[in-house]
A and B are shown apart, each in its own frame.
Chain A
Amino acid sequence: MAIELNVNGRSYSVDTDPGTSLLTVLRDHLGLTGSKYGCGEGECGACTVLINGNSRRSCITPVGHVHRQKVTTIEGLERAGKLHPVQQAFLDADAYQCAYCTAGMIVTTVALLDSNPHPTDAQIAEFLGGNICRCGTYPRILAAVRLAERALAQGGAR
Chain B
Amino acid sequence: MNEKETVREEETRANETLAPERYELFAPPAYHFDLERRNFLKVMGGGVGVFLLVRNPAVLGQGRESGQRRFGRPALPENVGAWLHIAPGGAVTVYTGKVEIGQNIRTSLAQQVAEELRVRLDSITMVMGDTALVPFDMGTFGSMTTPVMGPQLRRIASAARDTLLELAAARWKTAKGPLVAEEGMVRDPASGRRVAYGVLAEGQTLAKTVVAADPPLISPEKWTVAGKPVKKIGATPFVTGRHLYPSDIVRLDMVYGKVLRPPAYGATLASLDASAAKALAGVVVVQDADFVGVVAPKPEIAEKALAALKATWNPAPAQPSSKDLFDYLRKNAAPENAQEEDRFAHTVGSVETGLAAARQTFAQTYTVAYIAHAPLEPRAAVAEWQEGKLTVWTGTQRPFGVRDQLVETFHLPADSVHVLMPDMGSGYGGKHTGECAIEAARLAKGAGKPVKLIWTREEEFTWAYFRPAGVIDVRAGLGADGKLVAWEMINYNSGPSAVNTPYDIPNQTTGFHPTKYPLRQGSYRALAATANHFARESAMSELAHMAGADQLDFRLKHLSDARLKTVFESAAKRFSWPGKKSEPGQGFGIGGGIEKGGRVATCAEVSVNPKDGSVRVRRVVVAFECGAIVNPDGLNDQVAGAQMMGLGGALFEAIEFADGKILNPRFSQYRVPRFSDLPRIEVVLVNRADRPPAGAGETPICGLAPAVANAIFDATGIRLRSMPLAPHGVKQA
Cβ contacts B259-271/A at 8 Å (1 or 0 each): 0000000000000
Q: Which of B103, B243, B376, B674 has the most CB of A within 10 A?
A: B376
Is A75 in contact with B644, judged by CB distance below 8 angstroms?
Answer: no
Q: Which residues of B contact A141 (CB under 8 A)?
A: 675
Q: State in angstroms the CA–CA spacing of A19 and B299 once bound together.
A: 13
Q: Are B678 and A142 in contact (CB under 8 A)?
A: yes
Number of interface residues of B (CB under 8 A): 55
Given that A94-B235, A132-B376, A135-B102 are known contacts, is A34 also in contact with B250, CB under 8 Å in the complex?
no
CB distance from B673 to the nearest CB of A (A): 6
Query: What distance in Å separates the Cβ of A31 from its nearest Cβ neighbour in chain B?
Result: 7
- CB neighbours (8 Å) of B641 from chain A are 97, 135-137
B contact patch SS: loop
Q: Per a CB cutoff under 8 Å, which of A19, A36, A136 touches B377?
A: A36
How long is the Cα–Cα vector from A140 to B633 in the complex, in angstroms?
Answer: 11
Residue of A nearest to B456 (CB): A40
Asked whether, in the complex, the Cβ of A78 is within 8 Å of the Cβ of B681, the reply is no
Q: Does A41 have its Cβ within 8 Å of any Cβ on chain B? A: yes
Scan residues 130-147 of chain B and give those whose CB is less than 8 A from a CB of chain A.
none
From 365 to 414 in chain B, residues with beta carbon under 8 angstroms from any chain A beta carbon are 374-378
| Contact with B298, one of A16, A90, A98 (Cβ below 8 angstroms) | A16
Q: Which residues of A contact B241 (CB under 8 A)?
A: 32-35, 73-75, 103
Contacts of A37 in B (CB 8 A): 247, 378, 454
Chain B residues near A132 (CB-CB < 8 A): 376, 667, 672, 674
CA distance A74 to B678 in the complex (A): 25
How far, in angstroms, from A96 to B445 measured CA to CA in the complex?
37
- Cα distance A46–B299 in the bound complex, in angstroms: 18
The residue from B103, B298, B645, B676 contacting A29, defined by CB atoms under 8 A apart: B298
Chain A: CB-nearest residue to B297: A28
Taking CB atoms, residues of chain A closer than 8 Å to B454 are 37
Asked if A129 and B668 make an inter-chain contact with CB atoms under 8 angstroms apart, the answer reads: no
**Which of chain B's residues 396-444 have a Cβ closer than 8 Å to chain A?**
423-426, 428
Q: Does A131 contact B (CB under 8 A)?
A: yes
Q: Which residue of B lies closest to A94 (CB)?
A: B231
**A124 contacts chain B at the CB level, 8 A cutoff:** yes
Rounded to whole angstroms, the CA-CA distance of A103 and B241 in the bound complex is: 6
Bitwise, A135-158 to B at CB < 8 A (1) or not (0) is 111111110000000000000000
- Chain B's closest residue to A125 (CB) is B675
In the complex, residue of chain B having the shortest beta-carbon distance to the beta carbon of A29 = B298
Q: Which bucket holds chain A's interface residue count?
A: 35 or more
B299 and A24 contacting across the interface, CB-CB below 8 Å: yes
Task: Name B243's closest neighbour in chain A (CB-CB).
Answer: A99
B487 CB–A CB distance under 8 Å: no
A113 within 8 Å of B by Cβ? Answer: no
B376 touches A134 (CB 8 A): yes
Q: Are A43 and B668 in contact (CB under 8 A)?
A: yes
> Would B300 and A24 count as touching, CB distance under 8 A?
yes
Q: How far is the CB of B464 from chain A (nearest CB, A)?
A: 13
Contact A41 B300 (CB under 8 A): no
- A91-B239, A102-B238, A134-B375 known; A125 vs B678 contact (CB < 8 Å): yes
The interface centre, meaning the residue of A31, A129, A134 with most chain B CB atoms within 10 A of its CB, is A134
B647 vs chain A, min Cβ distance (A): 8
Chain A residues with CB under 8 A of B244: 33
Report B292 CB to chain A, min CB distance, Å: 21
List residues of chain B with CB within 8 A of the CB of A29.
Answer: 298
B666 within 8 A of A: yes
Also in contact, A138 and B644, with CB within 8 A (given A41-B667, A98-B424, A132-B376): yes
- Across the interface, do B104 and A99 meet the contact criterion of CB distance under 8 Å? no
Interface residues of B in 662-694 (CB under 8 A from A): 666-668, 672-676, 678, 681
Q: A40 to B428, alpha carbons, bound, how many Å?
A: 21
B476 to chain A, nearest CB (A): 33
Specify which of B232, B299, B378, B675 is in contact with A28 (CB 8 Å cutoff): B299
Q: A28-B299, A37-B247 given as contacts; is B457 within 8 A of A98 (CB)?
A: no
Is B103 a contact partner of A97 (Cβ separation < 8 A)? yes
Instruction: Determine whether the beta carbon of B376 is less than 8 Å from that of A133.
Output: yes
In the bound complex, do residue B678 and residue A138 qualify as a contact, i.e. CB atoms below 8 Å apart?
Answer: yes
Q: Give the most central of A34, A87, A126: most B CB within 10 Å.
A: A34
B668 cross-chain contacts in A, Cβ below 8 A: 39, 41, 43
CB distance from A35 to the nearest CB of B (A): 7
Other contacts beyond A36-B376, A75-B242, A102-B239: 7, CB < 8 A:
A44-B457, A73-B241, A74-B240, A75-B240, A96-B232, A100-B424, A132-B376
A-B contact pairs, 23 of them (CB 8 A): A24-B299, A28-B256, A32-B241, A33-B245, A34-B241, A35-B241, A36-B376, A38-B667, A39-B457, A75-B241, A77-B240, A83-B240, A94-B231, A97-B104, A99-B238, A99-B425, A100-B376, A102-B239, A131-B674, A132-B667, A133-B644, A134-B645, A136-B642
